[in-house]
Structure 1
Amino acid sequence: MMQFPTSITDFNIIESTLREGEQFRNAHFSTEDKIEIAIALDNFGVEYMELTTPAASPKSASDLQTIARMPRNFKLLTHIRARMDEAKLAVDCGVDGVDIYIGTSPYMREYSHGKSLEQVVAVGQEVVACLKTQGVEIRFSTEDTFRSNLADVFTVYRAMDIAGVNRVGVTDTVGIAEPLQTYQLIHSLRQAVDCDIEFHGHNDSGCAIANALCALQGGATHIDTTVLGIGERNGITSLGGLVARLYTIDDALVSKYDLAALHDVERLIAQKIGIDVPFNNPITGDAAFHHRAGVHTNAVLKNPTVYEAINPEDFGVTRAIDIAHRLVG
């Protein structure tokens, strides 16, 4: 069997179901829902969880404080605009880290915040300097990275790296990035900054999981996910999809997670938002390990790896084999 080397050695998942996922059209999480989801994802083993900015509403601030007080293993983050008032509010809520963002594409600069590149850098430096005194992790992202001028975003990234952020964030805000493009951008960025690199990829054109993989191969250290990929529009990289993709490269890459917990985590979120887990969902979809064609079933009964790259037993799920139908032969 062909073996392909991988440059991926270690990475962190920033689980954003309670931030990006809360922006999904069907998501209306109560405080109790958020606690239940946070516990489930903590048990799965994600390294970080990101919650909605406390500036969104008093309820968001209260929920953030509630999760901050929970016994937990993950680091708690919140997602804020590059504003001093939001930075101070985030720290007051007891988070472990603050994720700052500001748009850098012509669209964002003209129609969102109206700032020049110089102003973007200046406000970023001001907010980062403030947060540096508070002992929290800091990420600074350029929103809409892939529609921004490359020289502009590298100017911002270098300035934030010098300012002392823990990581910079690359964001495919409207889901237009291609896998090779993602790899090339992050590989170049890896040569330009010393800090860690985070990738946040939307799925508008169906490349979110592939782009996340290429981001890791290019040198990213952190990947944003949501359970079932829920989020704005049609969402971002799915937690299960990323795990499946990495497992097929080397199952040791995801051995730090409780893989058998994935099934219940996904069904928990599906129940909370009133949808079914898609039949073709990686690993946990009802059809994921369902074999039907005669040639397939004959081989799988002898050795499942003939038609399976993923061992369902590692995820606590089972395979199904159809035998009484006209395709058996």
Structure 2
Amino acid sequence: MPKSEKEPVSKRVKTASNASSVGTINDTGAIYKPKFSDSLSRVNNFSIIESTLREGEQFGNAFFTTEDKVKIAKALDDFGVEYIEITSPAASEQSRQDCITICNLGLKAKILTHVRCHMDDARIAVETGVDGLDVVIGTSSYLREFSHGKDMDYIIKQATEVITFIKSKGLEVRFSSEDSFRSDLVDLLNLYKTVDKLGVNRVGIADTVGCANPRQVYDLVKTLRGVVSCDIECHFHNDTGCAIANAYAALEAGATHIDTSVLGIGERNGITPLGGLCARMYVADKQYVMDKYDLHKLREVENLVAETVQIQVPFNNYITGYCAFTHKAGIHAKAILNNPSTYEILKPDDFGYVSIGHRLTGWNAVKNRVQQLGLKLSDDEVKEVTSQIKQLADLKPLGIEEVDTLLRVFHDKMNTPAED
């Protein structure tokens, strides 16, 4: 079995006797999913190509040092992604050196690099030690006219030369069109059929400008699935907010690989966020996702990337945003106390969240919440406020809103200059 690939996990869903024909509830009682899946669906058999170190490097605030890249690559590998994609070594001498460095880390994940469909780029990349090359060229009329200026005959000829060379080196190769959803369908299918016959491991669909919607994605992937025998990779930009939905629709239609970046960082509004995709796929098949990825480490990798690019994890971020598991409305709070599944489709414990509003809470758990809220407290101060939480929790368990309020008040007190 190729490095980092894992056997798909089959999952039997227990159906409630009164379940509707639209959906069922699995044995956790918390996950809503279609009763009948598409025969092409790969929702419970997909791989993540994590592109924080390639797409993410195009984020406005990103400037990754070699040390940053090594830390992020190791964190992603610990999380369990199958592939890590890094910036083309043809981009600069530093990018080439960084590529070699990451390839020599001995990670479980396969290391890929993203290159133009050009022999010069391919020759440089194959010498770095990567496991594979992700080759791309623009195919829409916009890019053919205003970017590289080549016609489809040239693209096919160039693709054939580059792919043949990469395969001769025994490396994995993906060939992707760029701006796929604004490309002519006949041109696309002809190109994909050609490269499939050359023996590529994957063909790629890229919503480069974020214009696609889930129905368009499903239709294109399903059509392509009937044309090629290789795997299908999808790359979705988030300019119109559809990246996660588009990724899910692609998997339903038979795509096999999804590109992500941590916190969705990338060109403009970025691409499908790693955490957001995990949240969506957890709901689709919880056990499959939990068996593949160490979800407890999601917060760690997100905090690492956020700190590196000098941004805050958004308050409403999937899973790790500080409001992700808060409930303020009375009717919600009451129901949550009776059964969390009433208003939580994601189970906080599965992502490493520990309740801290009780008398047995530990200061490390409180420290995690302090960091998540973006508060600055020393370890001694965290221990002091933990003692206050314990004293109040002796009287009654505290809700997360009560704990957060206590932490903010304590933080303000600690950071307010004493009056003379």
TM-score range for the pair, normalised by the shorter chain length: over 0.9
Q: How does 1:14-163 map to 2 (within 5 A)?
A: 14-163=49-198
Q: Distance in 2 between matches of 1:139 and 1:323?
A: 51
Deviating more after overlay: 26-35 vs 312-321:
312-321
Letter in 2 for 1:59: Q
Task: Tell me the residue number matched to 2:318.
Answer: 282
Q: Distance in 1 between matches of 2:98 and 2:178?
A: 25
Deviating more after overlay: 74-83 vs 311-320:
311-320
CA contact (8 A) 1:61 1:93 kept: yes
TM-score normalized by the length of structure 1: 0.97
Q: Measure how far apart 1:204 and its partner are.
A: 0.4
Task: Tell me the residue number matched to 1:177.
Answer: 212
Q: Measure how far apart 1:30 and its partner are.
A: 0.3
Letter in 1 for 2:321: G
Task: Tell me the residue number matched to 1:291.
Answer: 327
CA contact (8 A) 2:134 2:174 kept: yes
Q: Distance in 2 between matches of 1:130 and 1:284?
A: 43
Task: Tell me the residue number matched to 1:218.
Answer: 253
Task: Tell me the residue number matched to 1:263.
Answer: 299
Task: Tell me the residue number matched to 2:336.
Answer: 300
Q: Distance in 2 between matches of 1:277 and 1:323?
A: 21
Q: Please, which runs of 5 or more residues in structure 2 have no aligned partner?
A: 1-18, 25-33, 356-398, 404-420
Deviating more after overlay: 6-15 vs 114-123:
6-15
Q: Please, which runs of 5 or more residues in structure 1 have no aligned partner?
A: 325-329
Secondary structure in 1 aligned to 2:226?
helix
- Asked whether 1:204 is paired with 2:245, we answer no
Task: Tell me the residue number matched to 1:327.
Answer: none
Q: Distance in 2 between matches of 1:316 and 1:184?
A: 37
Count of paired positions: 324
Q: Deviations over 1:144-172 (max 9, x none)?
A: 00000011111110000011100000000
Letter in 2 for 1:227: V
Secondary structure in 2 aligned to 1:283?
coil
Q: Measure how far apart 1:133 and its partner are.
A: 0.6
Q: Distance in 1 between matches of 2:303 and 2:240?
A: 25
Q: Distance in 2 between matches of 1:271 and 1:317?
A: 20
CA contact (8 A) 1:225 1:239 kept: yes
Q: Measure how far apart 1:322 and its partner are.
A: 3.7
- Which portions of structure 1, spanning 4 or more consecutive aligned residues, are displaced by more than 6 angstroms? none
Q: Distance in 2 between matches of 1:44 and 1:38?
A: 10
Q: Distance in 2 between matches of 1:37 and 1:269?
A: 7
CA contact (8 A) 2:113 2:132 kept: yes
Q: Measure how far apart 1:88 and its partner are.
A: 0.9
Secondary structure in 2 aligned to 1:279?
coil
Q: CA RMSD in A?
A: 1.1
TM-score normalized by the length of structure 2: 0.76
Q: Distance in 2 between matches of 1:38 and 1:265?
A: 10
Q: Deviations over 1:287-324 (max 9, x none)?
A: 00001111011111111111100000000124654469
CA contact (8 A) 1:292 1:321 kept: no
Q: Distance in 2 between matches of 1:211 and 1:131?
A: 30
Letter in 1 for 2:121: E
Q: Distance in 1 between matches of 2:172 and 2:402?
A: 55
CA contact (8 A) 1:176 1:205 kept: yes
Q: Distance in 2 between matches of 1:279 and 1:317?
A: 16
Secondary structure in 2 aligned to 1:192?
coil
Secondary structure in 2 aligned to 1:291?
coil
Q: Deviations over 1:111-159 (max 9, x none)?
A: 1111111110000000001111101100000000000001111111000
Secondary structure in 1 aligned to 2:137?
strand
CA contact (8 A) 2:44 2:285 kept: no
Secondary structure in 2 aligned to 1:290?
coil
1:193 alignment partner, one of 213, 228, 252: 228
Q: Deviations over 1:23-51 (max 9, x none)?
A: 00000000000000000000000000000
Q: Distance in 1 between matches of 2:102 and 2:304?
A: 18
Q: Which has the larger radius of gyration?
A: 2
CA contact (8 A) 1:289 1:318 kept: no
